[in-house]
Structure 1
């Protein structure tokens, strides 16, 4: 039986039928990557805050095919279809890309929004085959808007797809920064354990030695939880808040995960971001967070130079930042749709 989340307190098995316009959010993850969970959480908060006219309905990626069939039975011209952002449009995660194609190619008469994504189709025979499949599926939908969350992805989407492309930050950057007023201690290494990892183990060891001065505790974690098997809209906000609390206690974050840097930005925690296999963190940092004093991106591998960077970050003054206005293109798109309904 499929689970649909009209609210975040419980799942229902039948979609609501009423006069309210609906915002069908497909692709909602149940896996335990807190970065992707934070994207889904922020997307709901964005639509409910900016466009309360809509009844926001989340459909888990596990229930994609059943969800498509259910939505087809009740969808009207006033409704919007979306697919979750924050992950990777491309050939690295083909299950997600396949689900995305099905949604885009099905609801061709409705405004369809691919929420802010990075993109990477590999330069291999399989990667190019996946690209062709996506081009064909996306091309069937004349009302599809792709939203890129970094400049590199924006230009790539414009080049390889015929759909219209917008440019906004990652949805998690819609959330407001928090001041936890914690006394900070220790350093946290939030590191990948997947195919996007490129930071060498030797460099990580050197960084740990650099930060472990005999008094500073060193912890290692990942934004992918292994303490739970599944996350839904009912449980994700509590887990997200717990992760922010963990970050807010630290003196320093070392990471190769983009969302770990975002969590650091939101909690005022000094953070140094290393790259992944195709540069999504680097480009998103340059586009949206380069002005934030206490975080930085680096390709440096010399521990001595990295020590200078870390020392600078740890004494950087905090300041306000607000990326809300940078969601203007997405806001205008949805607002125009609402105006056509009046």
Structure 2
């Protein structure tokens, strides 16, 4: 069986915790233009659809905390599902505060955190957060690598399971590259944010003038649309009745955005990237990719756990 199909099948570990047909609330989905997070979102929704989950309500990273603060109780049979990714820890504190608020408030509900990578810079932050999570009686955390698994089992909860990234559920949903698609040489897709990597070991070959990141691939029109969505969500919080259907508008817009990104990727003969989801997207599109680690080992951890053995994939050692 093809390795990518095996990875998609491995997501079934979630179904053992959240049975087919469950009613769920989905929190912290990305209303921003990190396309990697959007791929996780699209993959999660594909998984929900394939497992007949009934999503009662969805709330973005801009509205989830407001939902938690204003919602005192949720029917006990409803599972609270939190978005996956690489923001479990103290690098992105707003997301961690939301998760802590959920496990503090909804002790009568099953809480599930979709596959995450864990990283804390400060041990004190890890211990403080872990003490909060330990108090929840029905919490499950999925994680994307063995290092995260060890941290979570020691400090956060007993129900921890290794699982591929949710974007893997998009296998055979996206198009796959054909020779006629290729019009350009390799694309260098390199992080510029707090997880960026020192690439000096690669020498002149790694020319920053040729680097792109998600920000460069997204357009000013994308950024304007996102700002309108942020404004509409603010208005929805102030005006009763959910006047603007931001979930629907954002989902439809980002479907087109992801299609556009897919076409751009497939126009290159390969992608050299320090973005985990640049790498995963290449795997989904059946493209050649070289993966460079991020600042703290997230990418290499994922490669060793899951995508090693996918045809055309290589981990670059710096």
Structure having the higher helix fraction is 2
Q: 176, 187, 193: which is aligned to 1:179?
A: 176
1:219-260 C-alpha deviation (Å, 9 max, x unpaired): 532124353322733322211121111111111211111100
Aligned to 1:45: 46
Partner of 1:235, secondary structure, is helix
TM-score (normalizing by structure 1)? 0.72
Give the ranges of 4+ consecutive aligned residues of structure 1 lying more than 6 Å apart after TM superposition. Answer: none
> 1:221 and 2:218 equivalent?
no
Q: 259, 263, 266: which is aligned to 1:241?
A: 259
Distance across 1 between alignment mates of 2:203 and 2:284: 24
Partner of 1:285, secondary structure, is helix
Deviation at 1:156, TM superposition (A): 1.9
Aligned to 1:67: 67
* Structure 2: runs of 5+ lacking an equivalent: 1-20, 230-249
Distance across 2 between alignment mates of 1:204 and 1:269: 25
Aligned to 2:8: none
1:35-82 C-alpha deviation (Å, 9 max, x unpaired): 0111112111101211x1523532011112321145445x21221101
Deviation at 1:268, TM superposition (A): 1.4
Aligned to 2:234: none
> 1:155 and 2:150 equivalent?
yes
Deviation at 1:149, TM superposition (A): 1.0
Distance across 1 between alignment mates of 2:302 and 2:42: 20
RMSD: 2.2
Aligned to 2:35: 34
Aligned to 1:13: none
1:104-129 C-alpha deviation (Å, 9 max, x unpaired): 2221111110100000111xxxx223
Distance 1:205 1:24, change over 3 A: farther
1:199-235 C-alpha deviation (Å, 9 max, x unpaired): 32573642459xxxxxxxx953212435332273332
> 1:269 and 2:287 equivalent?
yes
> 1:168 and 2:163 equivalent?
yes
Question: Is contact 1:104-1:141 (8 Å) kept?
Answer: yes
TM-score (normalizing by structure 2)? 0.78
> 1:296 and 2:314 equivalent?
yes
Question: Is contact 1:91-1:97 (8 Å) kept?
Answer: yes
* Structure 1: runs of 5+ lacking an equivalent: 1-19, 210-217, 301-342
Question: Is contact 1:199-1:274 (8 Å) kept?
Answer: no
Q: Based on CA coordinates, which of the two structures has the bigger radius of gyration?
A: 1
Distance 1:288 1:56, change over 3 A: farther
Deviation at 1:136, TM superposition (A): 2.5
Shifted more, 242-251 versus 132-141: the winner is 132-141
Using CA pairs below 8 Å that are at least 6 residues apart, which structure has the higher relative contact order? 2
Partner of 1:145, secondary structure, is strand
Aligned to 1:189: 188
Aligned to 2:5: none
Distance across 2 between alignment mates of 1:29 and 1:21: 22
Number of aligned residues: 267
Distance 1:204 1:183, change over 3 A: farther
Partner of 2:251, secondary structure, is coil
Distance 1:72 1:205, change over 3 A: farther
